[in-house]
Amino acid sequence: MQLSLLTNEQIEKIHSSSVRILETLGVIMPHEDVVDLFAEAGASVDREKHLVKIPEKLVHSCLERCGKQFTLYGRDRQKKAEFGYGRRNYQSIGGNPYWIEDDLVRRFSTIEDVRISARLGDALPKLDIVGAMSDANDVPEEYRYLLIAVELLKNTTKPIMFFFNNRETTQYIMKLFEIIAGSKDEVINYPYAYFLFEPISPLRFPVDGVDLLFDACPFNIPVAVAPLALMGATAPGTVIGTIVQQNAEILAGICCVQLIKSGIPICYGGIPHAMDMSTTSMIAAGPEQSLMTVAMTQLGKYYNLPVYVDVGISDSKIQDAQAGMEAGITLACGAMAGADIFGSFGSSGEDQGTSLLMLMIQHELIGFIERMMKGIEISDEKIGIEVIEKARKEGTFLAEDHTLKHFREELWFPELSDKNFWEKWVLAGKKDMRTRSKEKKDNILEKHIPSPLDTETMKEIDALVKDAKKHLMKK
């Protein structure tokens, strides 16, 4: 099942336009070491303006070097997310400064929210990568992201997602990974997370983000190059203009990564959005974003790269009809286009906060989408002409062995959606999706206990955190 919007000729046009931008306009790269690497590789550089113009030959060379398949592993190595193998992977959001309680009270997120999010994500079978969902505002920023990584690894055995913030903290995070995995080689061979590298639209690169690559790349951490271009604000006010610019930014980011360390696995981050001209906020889900999602997925596949898309989310602040409509349509578009990873689950509204109830509903939606993507198996056995002939006489298929044999593999059995008769729904308390989601979520958090880390490993982690607090707070 494949959804496409662009012809091969149109894809070539977009690619050539993006390359033209890189060759003639260039990108702002305010990092001297990387500018040196570009200059050595044949790019035209203006050191005073931090301007790098990238020739087409270098773009193609760096695309050829990319690792085009990779796997993320959890502490339990049976739990993994595979990129570039035709599998869909689902991920909760890596963090947010705000947390939305079940009663719709919004507050700043905390480190306890990371623990809760990780435990819930660990228990949700369709969630492949567990994100922190919280920025842990109650932890000093100097070592905040180390503690977030610690709590994720303590509370889930799946691959994890969080944000890196500076080189010093990243070095401690790599040491944390070594403690859990046992050695640097094990971290390289069985990565727990990928690095989200975000160019700044239009056509600029953050010095801190580039800097972090020098500590992540030696561990062969996969990199998702994912600028968030806003149509009409930080990108042209047209869908195609935004696509062309974002593609250019991704290609430049890929070059940056490959020049730092050739062969690093790359994920193509097709996550453009549009700005709402009536509110000046980002539109998290809309028809324009769905179009761009499909087009960006086609472009990523044109480069033979796994693709990350930002779908399955909504602009609604609560888990209502709008949330279901927007999340469902955009996720379906991304899945049918052939993307590899779907991120930001648990996000409520345009980056307005994270919600465990929204995550529960999105988890239900994954089941719907996965059944749809399974498609229709066609065989003589499945068609069942003989059973049709028999049932024509008896008037029902209910008692047929053919029905009993196949119905469980053909039907999707939801956990939260209501399919009951009216009377049974009334007797059950007239519960809506939010109520059922809360009950399910509360039950999971009451009962689920993640597999713990062993005592010796925890001692090493505690010592690492103590050392990080001592040294990072001095800076």
> What are the boundaries of each domain within the chain?
64-374, 380-410
Share of the chain above pLDDT 70, in %: 100
Q: Which of 366, 330, 345, 333 is nearest to 92 (CA)?
A: 345
Q: Is the separation of the CB atoms in 379 and 402 below 8 Å?
A: no
| Backbone CA torsion sign across 108, 111, 112, 115 | positive
Give how far Cα 261 sits from Cα of 130, 321, 408, 412, Å: 27, 46, 48, 45
Structure confidence by residue, pLDDT tens digits, 355-405: 999 999 999 999 999 999 999 999 999 999 999 999 988 889 998 999 999
pLDDT, position 475: 58
Q: CA-based Rg of the chain, rounded to a whole angstrom?
A: 24
Structure confidence by residue, pLDDT tens digits, 320-348: 999 999 999 999 999 999 999 998 899 98
Is the pLDDT confidence value at 135 over 70? yes
Evaluate whether the domain defined by 64-374 bears CATH number 3.20.20.480: yes
pLDDT, position 51: 98
Instruction: Taking residues 111-135, report their average pLDDT.
Output: 98
pTM of the complete model: 0.95
Is the pLDDT confidence value at 351 over 80? no
60-77 burial, b if ≥16 CB within 10 A, otherwise e?
Answer: ebbbebbbbebbbbbbee
Is the pLDDT confidence value at 59 over 70? yes
pLDDT, position 343: 83
What's 346's DSSP letter?
T
* Peptide bond between residue 202 and the one before it cis (omega within 30 degrees of 0): yes
Q: Which of 460, 469, 467, 441 is nearest to 121 (CA)?
A: 441
Is the pLDDT confidence value at 198 over 70? yes
Centre a 10 Å sphere on the Cβ of residue 308 and count the other Cβ atoms it contains. 27
What is the overall mean pLDDT for the chain?
96
Structure confidence by residue, pLDDT tens digits, 238-270: 999 999 999 999 999 999 999 999 999 999 999
3-state helix, strand, coil in the chain (%, to 5): 50, 15, 35
Structure confidence by residue, pLDDT tens digits, 31-46: 999 999 999 999 999 9
Is the pLDDT confidence value at 55 over 70? yes
